[in-house]
Amino acid sequence: MSSTILRASRVRLSTHIRAFHLTAPKSDLVGPPDPISNLRPVVYDDAPPLPPSGVRHPYSLKEFTGDTREYQWKILRQELDAYNHAFWTDSNTRFQAAKQTFLSSLPESCSEDDKEHALSDFYKSWLIQEEPRQKEYTAEWQKRNKQNVLLGARLQYQKIMSRLGFSSSS
């Protein structure tokens, strides 16, 4: 009996604490892996609506009044996800096509051990061939991700400071 009362009072307390925050609980959704890119898409709870595919955002952030950094951060975050997905879709598609071409070029009389050895050589040559492209992608991804992290951290800092009653000008 007392555990039921205790549980009920915890529920009321958590409801009051949640109401004190004045915000609804948020959570991003993560989908199943894409069959080609192997990446799990994220649907952000606070994301701005997506523009039609292949079209950049039709407005300049300069057209909006007030602080647009949070909106800019949300757009940059989605653009980074799209960049990442496009790279891995293209890379994996090209890899699978090259692998199929390579396997079809092997003689039918090839043993499983010979196939494994030949595939090992193929994987090695693929990695060597793709290294410059991979390095270029990694450098660009790191640059974009750093921008996103810094902008997101700046936004969080501003939110904390405004909650504490300090105004921030940058």
Per-domain residue ranges for the chain?
26-163
Tell me, letter by letter, the H, E, C secondary structure of the chain: CHHHHHHHHHHHHHHHHHHHHCCCCCCCEECCCCCCCCCCCEECCCCCCCCCCCCCCCCCHHHCCCCCHHHHHHHHHHHHHHHHHHHHHHHHHHHHHHHHHHHHHCCCCCCHHHHHHHHHHHHHHHHHHHHHHHHHHHHHHHHHHHHHHHHHHHHHHHHHHHHCCCCCCC
Please give the Cα distance from 34 to 24 (Å, whole number). 30
pLDDT (tens digit per residue) in 61-113: 666 666 788 888 888 999 999 999 999 999 999 999 999 999 999 998 999 99
pLDDT tens, position by position, 21-76: 555 667 888 999 999 999 999 888 876 655 555 556 566 666 666 678 888 888 89
What rounded mean pLDDT belongs to the chain? 82
Is 60 exceeded by the pLDDT of residue 140?
yes
pLDDT of amino acid 74: 87
